[in-house]
């Protein structure tokens, strides 16, 4: 069964440094997402991406965050200047063959630790 893959599985970064989290969504999906989950808490929406542009973002997704689909397969989340509170598990997800509200398929996540 096709999967969403994320790399790296764990990223340790000094506060203030830039970090790029990478994702390869399921190949025929058209909607891509980033969510984060602080340890022991609920999954929080960050951003959705469709047709090569951001379609929706949350208040968490401020100017320090950006997303890109640099080629036909990768989908990246960049945090420009990391803060301690950015420490969390970051999940990439993808959905749909063009339809709204389809189930979302999540990757295994990247655990981001900011020191």
Which one of the spans 8-16, 20-28, 71-79, 101-109 is the region binding other proteins (CB under 8 A)? 101-109
Cα–Cα distance measured from residue 44 to residue 60, given in angstroms and rounded to the nearest whole number:
9
Could you give the angle at the alpha carbon of 35 between the alpha carbons of 9 and 14, nearest 5°?
50
Of the candidate residues 45, 60, 65, 69, the single one contacting other proteins (CB under 8 A)? 45
Please state, in angstroms and rounded to a whole number, the distance separating the CA atoms of residues 99 and 13.
37
Contact flag: residue 55 with other proteins (CB under 8 A): yes
**61 binding other proteins? (CB under 8 A):** no
Token reading at 49: 């991406």
Q: How many alpha carbons lie under 13 Å from residue 93 in its C-beta half-sphere?
A: 21
- Pick the stretch among 9-17, 21-29, 71-79, 95-103 that binds other proteins (CB under 8 A): 95-103
The contact set with other proteins (CB under 8 A) reads 31, 33, 35, 41-45, 48, 50, 54-58, 91, 95-96, 100-109
């Amino acid at each position: 069964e096709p999967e969403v893959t994320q790399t790296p599985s764990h990223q340790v970064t000094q506060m203030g440094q830039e970090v790029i989290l990478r994702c390869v969504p399921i190949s025929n999906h058209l909607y891509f997402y980033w969510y984060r989950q602080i340890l022991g808490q609920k999954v929080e929406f960050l951003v959705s991406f469709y047709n090569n542009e951001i379609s929706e973002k949350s208040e968490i997704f401020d100017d320090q965050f950006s997303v890109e689909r640099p080629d036909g397969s990768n989908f990246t989340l960049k945090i420009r200047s990391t803060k301690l509170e950015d420490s969390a598990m970051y999940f990439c997800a993808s959905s749909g063959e063009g339809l709204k509200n389809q189930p979302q398929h999540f990757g295994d996540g990247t655990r981001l630790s900011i020191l």
